[in-house]
Amino acid sequence: MTTDRQKNMAALDRQRHIYVNGMAGLRPVVPFDFQSLETAARQRISKEGFAYMAGGAGQESTLQTNRRAFDQWQIVPRMLRDVSHRDTSIQLFGQSLPTPLLTCPIGVLEMAHPEADLGVAKATAGLGIPMIFSNQASVPMEDCAAVMGQSPRWFQLYWSKSNELVQSLVSRAEQCGCTAVVVTLDTTMLGWRTRDLNLAYLPFLRGMGIAQYLSDPVFLSMLAQMQAASAARPKITLTTLRNLITVVNKYPGRGFFKKLRSGKPMAAVRLFIDIYSRPSLTWEDLSFLRKNTRLPILLKGILHPEDAQKAVAYGVDGIIVSNHGGRQVDGAIGAFTALPSVVAATQGQIPVLLDSGVRTGADVFKALALGAKAVCIGRPYAYGLAVAGQAGVAAVLQNFMADFELTMGLAGCTTIANITPETLVKSE
């Protein structure tokens, strides 16, 4: 049990711990600044894996826009306010959280580290930070939930062409203790991701990032029907052999040749490609989800105030302002730039969260100041995973917590409620 004193002093304790370890020649688990963290991750993963994680759409201008959006606002610290006790806790959908942070859903984490989603699940559970399970995870949600105890978790959904599959995924999420469903709206089609295109590399075609499907009864029964309809086996050539081996190895079950002969692994990839997204999705479709889950529903990818108003009107429970980390629309508005108008449009009726470009405790502070209820951390934790597995994720998140707590105190705030728009100015 954490005492109040330990909780309040967490940031200073962490800082001291790092410096004292340094006296003994011990190096920190992960670098502290984002550039060095990204470089360290790059050194540990394949070039395809790094391209997939780091890349954005087109010229990657949205990646820069996301950063510039934060740089346009500055914190104006206030003095002599007794900041010896700092409370970073928040309430979100009836749950008490130690810090206003969650982890973004990030797919195909097996490209970062073999621990993949399990490393993230254990690290977040150790800190009480909600993990948002990705629809494109490398590990089934049930396996992650099994190592998390009571720690909070949400599920992120990509709305597939099959409502039956949607229903199945959401009910599995409910079964394994998820307390919210996040529907990602901005990826009805994959963006024009130049780094991946340059390498002609898409992990899903190699059977990666489809663990939620391969563990789903509805998906597997669709697969069985599909196989009955066409008994065609993949043609094996030298050029496809290596990829085929990867795909077969990713498919659950034993017996490489048995799986290969069955044709199921390749058929599963084909089926996934056929059904994973529904570009025809409209606001009216949301009622299906509303009818099929008792969990709060959040929409991820909202950037326009009118869409925020619609979200409220359609009975949605929350919004995540996001441009998918610049991976979808090159030249899109910075997520942080979009935040104030989305917050204004919702008129406090539902919580608004933010991701895309969050790299420091100061970014978290600024997002909260302009009305975000909480902030989701993306690439930084994935890079932490690449560098040191579970320990790397934990270190990145602890660094965010400490950095944010210190920023808050040094700015003159002792509670989240103190972090108001008046703590910021916008540069001309």
Binding site for ligand FNR (CB under 6 A): 52-53, 104-107, 134-136, 156, 184, 300, 322, 324-325, 327, 355-358, 378-379
- Cβ(187)–Cβ(277) below 8 Å: yes
CA-to-CA separations, 304 to 280, 284, 332, 381, 399, in angstroms, rounded: 19, 18, 11, 27, 32
- Cβ(397)–Cβ(101) below 8 Å: yes
Residue 95: enclosing H or E segment and its boundaries? Answer: strand 95-97
Q: How far is the CB of 343 from ligand FNR (least distance, A)?
A: 18
Q: How far is the CB of 380 from ligand FNR (least distance, A)?
A: 7
Closest CB to ligand FNR among 353 and 416? 353
Closest CB to ligand FNR among 10 and 317? 317
- How far apart are alpha carbons 312 and 350 in whole angstroms? 7
Q: How far is the CB of 220 from ligand FNR (least distance, A)?
A: 21
Closest CB to ligand FNR among 106 and 302? 106
- How far apart are alpha carbons 424 and 428 in whole angstroms? 13
Phi, psi of 184 (to 5 degrees): -85, 120
In the Cβ-directed half-sphere of 128, how many Cα atoms lie within 13 Å? Answer: 14
Secondary-structure breakdown of the chain: helix, strand, coil percentages, each rounded to the nearest 5: 50, 10, 35
Q: CB 34: neighbour CB atoms within 10 A? A: 17
For tokens 């540990």, what's the residue? 44
∠ CA 355-358-363, nearest 5°, is 115
The DSSP secondary structure of 41-62, one letter per residue, reads HHHHS-HHHHHHHH--BTT-HH
Closest CA to 267 of 316, 336, 220: 220
**Is 85 marked active-site?**
no
Q: How far is the CB of 13 from ligand FNR (least distance, A)?
A: 27
In the Cβ-directed half-sphere of 152, how many Cα atoms lie within 13 Å? Answer: 22
Tokens representing 111? Answer: 């490209």
Q: How far is the CB of 339 from ligand FNR (least distance, A)?
A: 14
Closest CB to ligand FNR among 65 and 418? 65
Q: How far is the CB of 321 from ligand FNR (least distance, A)?
A: 10
- How far apart are alpha carbons 300 and 346 in whole angstroms? 15
* Marked catalytic residue, from 17, 85, 113, 324: 324
Q: How far is the CB of 413 from ligand FNR (least distance, A)?
A: 23
Closest CB to ligand FNR among 88 and 156? 156
- Cβ(325)–Cβ(66) below 8 Å: yes
Closest CB to ligand FNR among 332 and 388? 332
- How far apart are alpha carbons 205 and 247 in whole angstroms? 8
Closest CB to ligand FNR among 21 and 39? 39
- How far apart are alpha carbons 131 and 114 in whole angstroms? 18
Report, as residue numbers or ranges, the catalytic residues. Answer: 324
